[in-house]
């Protein structure tokens, strides 16, 4: 069983090793003098510790770099061949799986891998088999895997390793079950939180310290970076923006409550609004399918928006206005530098973003919102799996 790097930190030098790896993870490559200055450590001690990290395979000597004049120092960085991390973004009917080397470079990315997410033991076993199969298809040795992070929708307690929505097992945490099968440390995260971390580490929110990530898919979720840290809350359930009792619309949410934000700003809300418009006789390219009695899928609805169907565009505008009102409240509370909107509904582009921004302008306090930028996700569908890879590495090093 592979163990976290942080489990072997027993003395001062071990902690310095951890800090050196953290510096390289966050800021790239360094010389011995740079390390010593950043760590307030002597050059001889730093040289010794860097040498040990090279011997152990965590760092590599990148040679001498710098200007032609003067003596050029040797530069050291993370060794990409130290091992790799696996990030699995689970959706209801498929999985997106990414592998990332120790330096943070993507090795492989498999999108829309066939998988049905169910609350069964069989589905859990299939997930482990799917991960192994994906690694083999990309010529990656299972023995070199250092850690795995998996995101899934619903309530997840990362600290305890329990999922309260899928693969529920009261006797043993899901993370422990997966660890036994895969032979490496496994952690679980909520999908919105993993996407948030992906944008924070490698996307449009990189370098920011206070960020809200709004995940608008079939449901509605949120992840938060507060003062530079991913925020979990007491039990890991923070970010339930979709279940904020915001609306007086009489709509019953899937959680059983009435008037949740998700009932007015999500893919399921888009389906309801479009269906109501078709029922009232509004002409649309979706009319023929509606008349068959079949439910309109999210792909049907988003395809209609892309094809400039007026009914679908109007419904997307309603979603944007409701979402913008909710975000305005969040801005008033958190005063973030950036709000990132991700998830499937971002296919709507300006049809979604323009009403979002208009509602924020209308309902937020200008003195608070003037310092907040609202943007779409840069990473798109890769945000979840990349965020999982980044989380796996950060946890492996004991940095969260």
Residue 68 has pLDDT above 60, yes or no: no
Write down the pLDDT at residue 43.
95
Q: 78 near 59, Cβ under 8 Å?
A: yes
pTM as predicted: 0.93
What whole-number distance in Å separates Cα of residue 243 and Cα of residue 185? 32
Return the residue matching tokens 């700003």. Answer: 265
| Mean pLDDT within 73-99 | 95
Q: What is the pLDDT of residues 253-274, one digit of tens each?
A: 999 999 999 999 999 999 999 9
What whole-number distance in Å separates Cα of residue 90 and Cα of residue 79? 29
Write down the pLDDT at residue 294.
92
Q: State the SS3 of 182-245.
A: HCCCEEEEEHHHHHHHHHHHHCCCCCCCCEEEEEECCCEEEEEEECCEECCCCCCCCCCHHHCE
User: Could you tell me what percent of the chain has a pLDDT over 90?
Assistant: 84
Rg (CA), the chain: 23
Confidence of residue 172 (pLDDT cuts 50, 70, 90): confident
What whole-number distance in Å separates Cα of residue 262 and Cα of residue 240? 10
Domain with CATH 1.10.10.10 in the chain: 5-81
CATH superfamily for domain 83-197+383-396: ATPase, nucleotide binding domain (3.30.420.40)
Residue 67 has pLDDT above 70, yes or no: no
User: Could you tell me what percent of the chain has a pLDDT over 70?
Assistant: 96
| Mean pLDDT within 177-203 | 95
Domain 5-81: CATH architecture, name and number where available? Orthogonal Bundle (1.10)
Fold that domain 208-377 belongs to in CATH: Nucleotidyltransferase; domain 5 (3.30.420)
Give the 3-state secondary structure of residue 286: coil
Write down the pLDDT at residue 70.
62
| Mean pLDDT across the chain | 93
What whole-number distance in Å separates Cα of residue 183 and Cα of residue 176? 10
Domain with CATH 3.30.420.40 in the chain: 83-197+383-396, 208-377
| Mean pLDDT within 311-315 | 98
Q: State the SS3 of 121-159.
A: HHHHHHHHHHHHHHHHHCCCCHHHEEEEEEEECCCEECC
């Amino acid at each position: 069983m592979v163990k976290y790097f942080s489990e072997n930190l027993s003395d001062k030098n071990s902690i310095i090793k951890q800090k050196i790896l953290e510096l390289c993870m966050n800021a790239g490559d360094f010389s011995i003098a740079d390390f010593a200055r950043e760590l307030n450590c002597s050059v001889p001690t730093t040289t010794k510790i860097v040498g040990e990290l090279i011997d152990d395979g965590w760092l590599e000597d990148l040679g001498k770099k710098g200007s032609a004049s003067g003596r050029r120092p040797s530069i050291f960085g993370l060794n990409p061949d130290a091992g790799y991390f696996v990030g699995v973004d689970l959706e209801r009917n498929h999985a997106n799986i990414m592998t990332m080397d120790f330096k943070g470079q993507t090795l492989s990315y498999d999108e829309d891998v066939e998988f049905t997410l169910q609350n069964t033991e069989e589905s859990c076993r299939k997930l482990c088999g799917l991960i192994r199969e994906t690694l083999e298809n990309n010529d990656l040795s299972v023995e070199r895997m250092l850690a795995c992070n998996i995101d899934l929708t619903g309530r997840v307690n990362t600290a305890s390793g329990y999922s309260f929505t899928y693969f529920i097992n009261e006797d043993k945490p899901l993370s422990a079950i997966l660890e036994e099968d895969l032979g490496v440390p496994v952690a679980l995260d909520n999908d919105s939180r993993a996407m948030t971390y992906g944008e924070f580490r490698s996307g449009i929110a990189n370098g920011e310290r206070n960020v809200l990530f709004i995940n608008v898919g079939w449901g509605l979720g949120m992840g938060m970076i507060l003062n530079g840290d991913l925020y979990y809350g007491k039990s890991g359930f923070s970010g339930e923006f979709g279940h904020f009792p915001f609306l007086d619309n009489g709509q019953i949410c899937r959680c059983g409550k009435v008037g949740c934000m998700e009932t007015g700003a999500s893919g399921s809300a888009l389906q309801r609004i479009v269906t109501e418009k078709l029922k009232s006789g509004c002409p649309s390219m979706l009319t023929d399918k509606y008349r068959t009695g079949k439910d309109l899928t999210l792909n049907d609805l988003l395809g209609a928006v892309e094809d400039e169907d007026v009914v679908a565009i109007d419904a997307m505008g309603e979603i944007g206005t409701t979402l913008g009102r909710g975000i305005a409240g969040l801005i008033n509370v958190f005063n973030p530098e950036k709000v990132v909107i991700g998830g499937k509904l971002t296919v709507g582009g300006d049809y979604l973003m323009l009403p979002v921004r208009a509602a924020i302008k209308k309902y937020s306090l200008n003195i608070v919102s003037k310092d907040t930028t609202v943007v779409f996700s840069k990473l798109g569908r890769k945000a979840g799996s990349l965020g999982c890879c980044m989380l796996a590495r950060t946890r492996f090093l004991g940095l969260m």
